[in-house]
Amino acid sequence: MEKQKFYLGSHVGMNAANNYLIGSAKESIENGANTLMFFTGAPQNTRRTETSKLNIVEFKSMLIENNIDISKVICHGPYTINLANTVKAETFDLGVRLLKEELLRLEEIGVHTVVLHPGAAVGAPRELALANIAKGLNMVYKALPNTPVKVALETMSGKGTEVCITFEEIKTVLDLVEQKDKVGVCFDTCHMHDAGYDVKNNFDKVVEEFDQIVGLDKLLAIHLNDSKNPIANHKDRHENIGYGYIGFESLANIVHNPLFKEIPIVLETPWINAKVSPYKVEIEMIKNNKFTNPFKDKEIK
């Protein structure tokens, strides 16, 4: 079998009904993916199933049998973590504890990249919030100095008081991180577009700017999403590939760009009518580099 020229997959479920990680692997394989992203539990709460029940051995075997490199598999951290919060100490402390637990769980699973929402300032000055993120990351890695798991801070759209909406803000955090090799970045194309970066017309320039400010070596993952809103709207509303304001061609070009051939790229686009997964079709379109308008009741922007 010819090796694909990129790593492309989607967010997949991980729950008891589908045998935890076995279901995650099956869903990815059925979608024709060669990478995947999962939550280790419900993203909005702190409850987690013990790792001994997640079917880790079977999961790893399924990945090997289907030529999926576990080093390209990523996890998404829980939304309950807000290391940027300087207003409520208990929220920050909870975030540090949860992130430590997440890194330990992922080390057991064998997945070594976790994407993390940097958080929101919640009314405090942004510079304090950015410093607080680095403080939390430093606390986590001081407690777990030998963990192989890296944190990829996600680029955000600027909804509410979110931070890390510009490359400069991300650089501020990374400059304050002590274990430089453990923290990087995850591009989210919808978030970047909504934050004001021209993903549609001039992504090469966006990447050049990122390289100059942060460094392309810090890019650990990409979330590939279209956007329901015009550029710089700060809304964070994902759209299916080819149906939003970024468009199919620009998004497919990112996947096919040799610059990102070693970077895991995952879809987080909405399910059709909240019932049908779009991922198999979207992955096939992107692989073939051809838009087929599969969801005909959706309006194309």
Helix/strand/coil for 10: strand
Known binder of ligand: residue 191?
yes
Does 256 carry a binding-site annotation? no
236 is in an annotated binding site: yes
Q: Is 234 annotated as a binding residue?
A: no
Q: Residue 112 annotated as binding?
A: no
**209 among annotated binding-site residues:** no
CB neighbour list of residue 126: distance below 8 Å, 6 or more residues apart: 163, 169
The whole-angstrom separation of Cα 262 and Cα 34 is 12
Is residue 188 marked as binding?
Answer: yes
- Cβ-contact 10, 74 below 8 angstroms: no
3-state secondary structure 95-161: HHHHHHHHHHHHHHHCCCEEEECCCECCCCCHHHHHHHHHHHHHHHHHHCCCCCCEEEEECCCCCCC
What tokens appear for 105 in the block? 């769980």
- 76 known ligand binder: yes
268 is in an annotated binding site: yes
Annotated binding site for Zn(2+): 76, 117, 154, 188, 191, 223, 236, 238, 268
Annotated binding site: 76, 117, 154, 188, 191, 223, 236, 238, 268
